Structure 1
Amino acid sequence: MFRTVILQIRNQVARLNNVRYFTQEMNETANIEKCVNNVTLLGRVGADPQKRGSEHPVVLFSLATHTNYKYESGEFMQRTDWHKICVFKPNLRESVYKYLKKGQRIMINGRISYSEFKDAEGKNVFATSIIADDIIFFQ
């Protein structure tokens, strides 16, 4: 019985130490917040990829995804969404530029990015793009 009590006390102390350590760790990183920005798209390539830039090269292409829905009348409809895909990773960028073709089916894992710039007339233009981290080619 005495041995059981000692084991229980030792376990409680270990738990308290872990809590104390965790609390200390949280205080040190209290200003760091975890966030998630993940996008997964499965669709078809809208146009052959284009390479732009020399100092910071990027490969750009469009991807079409669609959603099917049914009207109250029973008629089925399909809505197509177009996504601008940017590939910055060097090896992925070269593979995409070399092997990806219009109409090919692919799956993209990446993150969404919003940007703002001025056009030739000086108006603010907002753009949304997907920064690709991984691309799976389907045959």
Structure 2
Amino acid sequence: MAGSVNKVILIGNVGADPEIRRTQDGRPIANLRIATSETWRDRNSGERREKTEWHTVVVFNEGLCKVVEQYVKKGAKLYIEGQLQTRKWQDQTGNDRYSTEVVLQGFNSTLTMLDGRGGEGGGAGRGGSDYGGGGYEEYDQSRPSSGGARSGGQSNQPNQGGNFSRDLDDDIPF
């Protein structure tokens, strides 16, 4: 197998309101922390156990930063697609430190709000370029969606797939 893949997919809850900073030329950078949890039953005691992991997410995509700034708040459930990056930095005492982060930039990044704004359904942002691509798409049940979040409600559109039981009335060909 030639090549490699660096892709991270997370579904989790935002732990605190996102922090929005700006570069010297005015481009936004969003920082947020997302918690993912797994639960299981302990084999010996039968008790339910839970383990929570915290992930640092950095958004460089300008369109996705606008979504984060306007709509993402503490407790929001998000679907994130990005890449792992480790950066080296020095603390106040001059020691080298390393931080591994999930980075959303360019075309390979996605941020989808799974619980929507005020319970109205979800919205999705897809990464474009580092300079203003991507953005926010409000979920609309009245039109077909090629991606983003989907609401669990029933559609008012008629069934366009035909009548399934009528298709089963055919004679067996042997």
TM-score over 0.5 for the alignment? yes
1:47 aligns with 2:23: no
Describe the superposition over 1:88-133 as per-residue Cα deviations: whole angstroms up to 9, x where unpaired: 0111111111110100111001111111110111011111110121
Question: Corresponding residue for 2:112?
Answer: 136
Q: Once the two structures are superposed, what CA deviation does each residue of 1:22-69 show, in whole Å capped at 9, x if it has no partner?
A: xxxxxxxxxxx6220011000100111111232353100100000112
Deviation at 1:75, TM superposition (A): 0.7
CA distance in 2, matches of 1:42, 1:61: 13
Q: Following the alignment from structure 2 to structure 1, what is the Cα–Cα distance between the partners of residues 67 and 80? A: 14
The structure in which a higher percent of residues are helix is 1
Could you tell me the percent identity over the aligned residues?
31
Select the structure that is richer in strand: 1
Q: Is structure 2 residue 82 aligned with structure 1 residue 110?
A: yes
Mark the structure with the bigger radius of gyration. 1
Q: Return the alpha-carbon distance in structure 2 between the equivalents of residues 97 and 130 of structure 1.
A: 18
Distance 1:125 1:57 in 2: 25
Q: Runs of at least 4 residues of structure 1 off by over 4 A?
A: none
Read off the aligned partner of 1:138 and give its amino acid letter.
L
Match of 2:30 in 1: 59
- Partners of 1:113 and 1:67 in 2: CA distance: 24
**Separation in structure 1 between the aligned mates of residue 23 and residue 8 of structure 2, nearest angstrom:** 27
Equivalenced residues, count = 107
Q: For 1:61-80, list aligned pairs within 5 A.
A: 61-71=32-42, 72-80=44-52
- Which structure's relative contact order is higher, taking Cα pairs within 8 Å and 6+ residues apart? 1
Give 1:70 shift. 2.1
C-alpha distance in 2 between matches for 1:131 and 1:54: 16
- Other structure's SS at 2:3 match: coil
Root-mean-square deviation over aligned CA pairs? 1.3
